Structure 1
Amino acid sequence: MIKTTLAEQAYQELRARIIGGKLAGGTRLLPNELAADLGISPTPVKEACLRLEADGLVVATARRSMAVRSFTEADVEALYAARILIEKGALEAAFEAGHVDAALKARLAESLEGHRAYADGTSLDDLARALSYDRAFHSALVEASGIALIIETHARILGQTHTLFVSVPGEYDRSVSEHRAILCAIEADDQGQAVAALLAHLKRSRENTLRQVRLMAPA
């Protein structure tokens, strides 16, 4: 039980560092060094890395070690294609199932407010907090569908896209405005406008993320 708990703690901490931009793409994950940093033994760190590999956040390297995944333009295109299909379908399913209720609207509003509060931050910690509220907003939309398999798949995809999102300049303020447009349509119970606002947001985010990947690519 203790080992399982330590592995879970290591997984959550390393996942947060990757998604929050503290462990960049290509960074080697050395179990002994990470274990010393986390104050635990290497075994739970290795278990955590295997889970992160399953999440698509970590890849095995030629030297039988692991590294934080670096994303290509093709990766970004595929991830956003999946996000668009899932989030659009989930939002439509939520409307059709009658799950777009006061509780969902309050949850979205809370996420939007937290996102707005940290969007102007300049430190990596502030941007990571903004990003966590961004994830909460999109997760709430998908969870409103009530479809467990879609929710689980979306969580993995969202984590992958957000490892790049943290470094996109100016993205946070724009996302706040676009999330507000989505929420306004949902509060008005306007399914068509809510879906249109969501798609516009995801497509623009995709283009910005692609631009960032091109800038980060080796010459």
Structure 2
Amino acid sequence: MFGSKTTMVDPARALPGRDTPMPVPARHTVLGTPLAPPYPGGHEIADVAMGCFWGAERMFWRLGAERGILTTAVGYAGGYTPNPTYEEVCSGRTGHTEVVRAVFDPARISYAEVLKVFWEGHDPTQGMRQGNDVGTQYRSAILYHGDAQRAAAEATRDAFQPVLTRAGYGPITTEIAPLRAFYFAEDYHQQYLDKNPNGYCGIGGTGASCPIGVATSDEPPSGSSVE
């Protein structure tokens, strides 16, 4: 009755969710840093969706502190249901996509460089799927914090599209929208591939390189600071 999992649910028919946030561990299992706010002053947040969040999160934590990544986490965003469970998101009745949150130091890595990892780490032309993972929860998205992040998202998208076109790919389908809310996923999803090194990872890039230097040369300072 709720239609295909590749069709966004009508907000009026979305699951009601709950008021209680999902409890998460205090520390990142790899980086040893806090998963949840408050984060140290001067850091910024990037929220992106690129298919199954297990492998996507690993891409960002592997950059590590030496590249300016303070912490990473996985959650749900872009939909309507507050504090959903994984099973609810999988039903297609929340409108959420699987999101990776990367908290970064802009003095060491720019938001554009974070987006380069995003664009090159998956295929942003697949619509409501990523590889064999099909449904609205696997759609590509950049959920931005403020006008500077929106501008960077649009500029890097516009720079990457001709590269993808030359490589034989279709139009980018990535959703670019303001973040309304980020809901942490369950404990067992956080740093899943660290806890399960042989676990499933459906993430795969196109092999194309995103020319961020061209896209961001006139870009204002990135991101939204978090205190």
Q: TM-score range, shorter-chain basis?
A: under 0.3
Of Structure 1 and Structure 2, the greater strand share is in: 2
Larger Rg: 1
Higher relative contact order (CA 8 A, sep 6+): 2
User: What is the TM-score when the length of structure 2 is the normalising length?
Assistant: 0.27
- Select the structure that is richer in helix: 1
